[in-house]
């Protein structure tokens, strides 16, 4: 399939593919086992300018958009969906700065993130505020020229390893969702510490930690957008980041498909490669068709966002929903094709299945995505 990529996008795809094959694939199983944060890969991606793909040139990036992030995420995820998150979650953390940051904030934070010297993270989720982001308990009280944050976040990707955090806290609880505000926090700020690291089913090379705020003083210059805009910052960020999660899912699925095709040609049963059996062929055909459809939806959505279109929530949600369901289906079928070998850790099939599951859950569960899509459909119908 020709995806009509421009020269720079082809370059990003090819280089990420090379890094995935040569540098990530050989270490993926090891990181999955050890749960260490993949700093050597971060360094390598930084040196290759990958962290800058979608940051404007004036802040040290390469000036791409959502599509460039998607291409890189997909290619890297083919080798390991967990390791890729050091990159993809950093974009989730810097997207709100790109979208809502003022010139000083962009100048201060984006160059180091583009260079991969620092990583970013986005912190919305709390124990009692998952799908219902309006139930956030973390508070921020204004005190002179700064805000004092108290509370905690959990399940934060890149938590503890990132240097730059965008944190959503309630500045006025009485206003509900309109009382939330986004802040930029830096690792090392007084009163900002990290809690436990989660032991996860998949994406184990990625760190997931609690952030704890104890009378954490944040200068008022670090408010992102305006006070009370926290919920909008969150929703708009997810609009542009969801194609990224979709691409992670797509990469995991495409990697599973590729290895399943290869294995089915090598595995001999009844005197023939199992790829010669129609039962296997039909599975592979379905997997390939689903992967291709997911890619088409993601690329179309990313291009729509990059063109400056306004109402993208529905498509962004569709891309994330569809690609992550495809990832779960394709990786499960890949395990089936690998048979008993699919179930043991010596082969990468089971890891992909574990890695795929999270893509149906985070950045809004797929049930939340369906709600977003349905609400938008009803709204559009009402408009006529």
Q: Which of 68, 74, 350, 363 is catalytic?
A: 363
* 42 touches another protein by CB under 8 A: no
- Tokens coding 253: 């699925």
We find the least distance from the C-beta atom of residue 54 to another protein, in angstroms, to be 12
Which one, 18 or 281, has the nearer CB to another protein?
18
Site string for another protein, 243-272 (x = CB under 8 A): ------------------------------
Number of residues that bind another protein (CB under 8 A): 16
Q: Which stretch binds another protein (CB under 8 A): 14-22, 158-166, 285-293, 305-313?
A: 14-22
Instruction: Count the neighbouring beta carbons within 10 Å of the beta carbon of residue 18.
Output: 12
Torsion of CA 49, 52, 54, 59, to 10 degrees: -140
Residues 53-92 that bind another protein (CB under 8 A): 53, 62
Residue 20, C-beta contacts closer than 8 angstroms, at least 6 positions apart: 75, 76, 78, 79, 80
Q: Is 103 a catalytic residue?
A: no
Residue 164, exposed/middle/buried by CB under 10 A (0-12, 13-18, 19+)? buried
Is the four-CA dihedral 198, 202, 205, 207 of positive or negative sign? negative
We find the least distance from the C-beta atom of residue 52 to another protein, in angstroms, to be 7
- Tokens coding 338: 């690998």
Phi-psi region of 188 (alpha: psi -120 to 50; beta: other; left: phi over 0): left
Element of type H or E holding 254: helix 230-266
Residue 270, C-beta contacts closer than 8 angstroms, at least 6 positions apart: none
Residues 325-344 that bind another protein (CB under 8 A): none
Closest CA to 51 of 160, 163, 153: 163
* 19 touches another protein by CB under 8 A: yes
Which one, 15 or 232, has the nearer CB to another protein?
15
Which one, 45 or 148, has the nearer CB to another protein?
45
Which one, 71 or 124, has the nearer CB to another protein?
71
Can you tell me which of 3, 6, 22, 107 binds another protein, judged by CB under 8 A? 22
Which one, 114 or 218, has the nearer CB to another protein?
114
Which one, 86 or 274, has the nearer CB to another protein?
86
We find the least distance from the C-beta atom of residue 162 to another protein, in angstroms, to be 22
We find the least distance from the C-beta atom of residue 13 to another protein, in angstroms, to be 11
Which one, 54 or 237, has the nearer CB to another protein?
54
Beta strands in 36-125 (DSSP E): 120-123
| CA atoms of 266 and 330, how far apart (whole Å) | 19
- Contact status, residue 73 vs residue 88, Cβ threshold 8 Å: yes
* 48 touches another protein by CB under 8 A: yes
State CA 154 to chain mean position distance: 16
Residue 74, C-beta contacts closer than 8 angstroms, at least 6 positions apart: 247, 248, 250, 251, 254, 295, 298
CA distances 188 to 61, 161, 162, 285, 362, Å, are 26, 12, 11, 51, 27
Can you tell me which of 18, 214, 269, 367 binds another protein, judged by CB under 8 A? 18
Can you tell me which of 27, 28, 41, 50 binds another protein, judged by CB under 8 A? 50
Can you tell me which of 27, 37, 52, 283 binds another protein, judged by CB under 8 A? 52
* 49 touches another protein by CB under 8 A: yes
We find the least distance from the C-beta atom of residue 47 to another protein, in angstroms, to be 6
Can you tell me which of 5, 11, 135, 177 binds another protein, judged by CB under 8 A? 11
* 30 touches another protein by CB under 8 A: no
Phi-psi region of 36 (alpha: psi -120 to 50; beta: other; left: phi over 0): beta
Which one, 16 or 166, has the nearer CB to another protein?
16
Can you tell me which of 6, 34, 47, 367 binds another protein, judged by CB under 8 A? 47
Residue 40, C-beta contacts closer than 8 angstroms, at least 6 positions apart: none
Q: Which stretch binds another protein (CB under 8 A): 9-17, 138-146, 161-169, 327-335?
A: 9-17
- List residues with catalytic annotation: 363
Residues that bind another protein (CB under 8 A): 8, 11-12, 15, 18-19, 22-23, 44, 47-50, 52-53, 62
């Amino acid at each position: 399939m020709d995806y009509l990529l421009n020269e720079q996008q082809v370059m990003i795809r090819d280089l990420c593919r090379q890094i995935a094959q040569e540098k990530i694939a050989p270490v993926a199983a090891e990181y999955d086992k050890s749960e260490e944060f993949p700093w050597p890969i971060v360094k390598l991606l930084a040196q290759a300018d990958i962290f800058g793909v979608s940051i404007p040139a004036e802040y040290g990036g390469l000036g791409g958009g959502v599509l460039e992030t998607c291409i890189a995420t997909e290619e890297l995820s083919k080798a390991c969906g967990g390791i890729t998150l050091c990159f993809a979650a950093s974009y989730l953390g810097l997207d709100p700065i790109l979208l809502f940051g003022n010139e000083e904030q962009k100048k201060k934070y984006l160059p180091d993130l583009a260079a991969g010297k620092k990583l970013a993270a986005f912190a919305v989720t709390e124990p009692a505020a998952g799908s219902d982001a309006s139930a956030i308990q973390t508070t921020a009280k204004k005190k002179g020229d700064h805000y004092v944050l108290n509370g905690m976040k959990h399940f934060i990707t890149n938590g503890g390893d990132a240097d730059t955090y965008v944190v959503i806290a309630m500045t006025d609880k009485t206003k509900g969702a309109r009382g939330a505000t986004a802040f930029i926090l830096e690792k090392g700020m007084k009163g900002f510490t990290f809690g436990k690291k989660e032991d996860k089913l998949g994406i184990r090379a990625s760190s997931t930690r609690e952030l704890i705020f104890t009378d954490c003083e944040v200068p008022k210059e670090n408010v992102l957008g305006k006070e009370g805009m926290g919920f909008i910052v969150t929703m708009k960020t997810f609009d542009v980041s969801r194609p990224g999660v979709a691409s992670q899912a797509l990469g995991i699925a495409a990697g599973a498909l590729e290895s399943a095709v290869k294995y089915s040609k090598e595995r001999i049963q009844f005197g023939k490669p199992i790829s010669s059996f129609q039962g296997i062929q039909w599975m592979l055909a379905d997997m390939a068709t689903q992967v291709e459809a997911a890619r088409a939806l993601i690329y179309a959505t990313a291009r729509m966002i990059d063109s400056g279109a306004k109402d993208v929530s529905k498509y962004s949600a569709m891309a994330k929903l569809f690609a992550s369901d495809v990832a779960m289906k394709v990786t499960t079928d890949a395990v089936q094709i690998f048979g008993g070998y699919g179930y043991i850790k010596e082969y990468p099939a089971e890891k992909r299945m574990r890695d795929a599951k999270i893509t149906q859950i985070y950045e809004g569960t797929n049930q939340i995505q369906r709600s977003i899509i349905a609400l938008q459909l009803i709204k559009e119908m009402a408009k006529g």
